[in-house]
Amino acid sequence: MLDGRFITLGVETSCDETSVAFLADAGDVLCNLVASQVEMHAPFGGVVPELAARQHEAKINPLFQSAMEAAGIRPADIDLIGVTVGPGLSVSLGVGIAFARMLGELAAAPCVGVNHLQAHLAANFLDPAPPELPAVGLLASGGHTEIYFVEAPLTARWMGGTIDDAAGEAFDKVARMAGLGYPGGPAIQKASAEAVEKSIVFPRPMLDREGFDFSFSGLKTAVLTYLKRNPGALAAEIAFAFQEAAVDVLVEKTLRAARERRVGQILLCGGVAANRRLRERFAERCAALDLRLRVPSFELCTDNAAMVAKTAYEVHNSTTKGYPLIPAPNLLI
């Protein structure tokens, strides 16, 4: 406890971001530090698991020390620890789990295993004003593209998802094909802003099909085919057309899910929810349809430990159990 407030430490190392956060009570993020490994993995065009794990090992304790300093917290103040146990890279997850266990001993605080997907959704509950429930949630990240029927912060029922590549993965692959570098999401977003002609149109895979599944592999192939046939095509035009198609599918399928479930609230989360065009299109469409839209701040969309701390806090204050403290690379909701 710190000044009578319940302190939760969040630890996140599932992929290529090392993050440590302190949460006071239910939603006051005292500090949310993220050490990104993007530059280290960029030459490889993707995350190299062993390098990622080594970097988490090097960064986690210094980051924790900085976080304690920034939030004015000592180990003895920590009441609860939440750590991501999956899904993610096994070796990376192991680093965060070992650190959290060790700290749990040191601070004599209970340690809760957190599902990274639940944590992304939980980012929407950090705001003091809770979202209206039930809601429909879209989680679009580098590893996942899923639609959920969200009944409570820890209760989400899967409605559909990608049958091949994740949305973020498609952004990353298309950026690489167009020579725009890594990570692809921000690169595509930036390049799109420079498009002038905007005459290329890519297909919207599965948009006219029933249900809530996505296919981003088909869209990626369409871009590849276009590039082969038009070797002189401008990267900005490709980026724009791809982003429009990807955003269109994500927005329309999510709205369809909301319509079918008769909910008035949409929740967005995951790294792709940081995309400006996606946020803009959702805002426009939700306003037109009189739906409420909630999107976490940019820092809370991409991987971070504040969302992990929030999930642990919710677990601690419910009858739900945390996940076992062992890496679970393929964990789902």
Q: Which residues bind ligand KG4 (CB under 6 A)?
A: 15, 141-143, 168-169, 171-172, 183-186, 189, 270-272, 274-275, 302-303
The one-letter code for the residue type at 109 is A
Q: Is 141 in the site for Zn ion (CB under 5 A)?
A: yes
Residue 85 makes CB contacts below 8 A (sequence gap 6+) with: 93, 97, 113, 114, 115, 323, 324, 325, 326, 327, 328, 331
- Tell me the closest approach of the beta carbon of residue 10 to ligand KG4, in angstroms: 15
Select from 127-135, 215-223, 260-268, 297-305 the region that touches Zn ion (CB under 5 A): 297-305
| Residue type for position 73 | I
**Residue 123 carries which DSSP code?**
G
* 303 lies in the site for Zn ion, by CB under 5 A: yes
Sequence letter at residue 181? G
Name residue 294's beta-bridge partners.
267
CB of 142 to Zn ion, least distance (A): 7
Residue whose CB is less far from Zn ion, 77 or 169: 169
Candidates 242-250, 256-264, 296-304, 323-331; binding stretch for Zn ion (CB under 5 A): 296-304
CB 136 to ligand KG4: min, Å: 19
User: Do β-strands 135-140 and 145-152 pair in parallel, antiparallel, or remain unpaired?
Assistant: antiparallel
How many residues sit in the footprint of Zn ion (CB under 5 A)?
A: 2
Query: What is d(CA 235, CA 285) in angstroms, rounded to the nearest whole number?
Result: 28
Question: Which span (134-142, 156-164, 189-197, 243-251) binds Zn ion, by CB under 5 A?
Answer: 134-142
Residue 86 binding partner per list ligand KG4, Zn ion, none, with a CB distance cut-off of 5 to 8 Å that depends on partner kind: none
Which of 141/265 has CB closer to ligand KG4? 141
Cis peptide before 329, with omega less than 30 degrees from 0? no
CB 36 to ligand KG4: min, Å:
9
Our CB check for Zn ion shows the closer of 32 and 195 to be 32
Question: DSSP H helical segments within the chain, as ranges?
Answer: 38-41, 49-71, 90-107, 116-122, 167-177, 184-192, 217-229, 235-261, 276-288, 298-301, 306-316
- State the minimum distance, in angstroms, from the CB of residue 241 to Zn ion: 26
* Interface with Zn ion (CB under 5 A): 141, 303
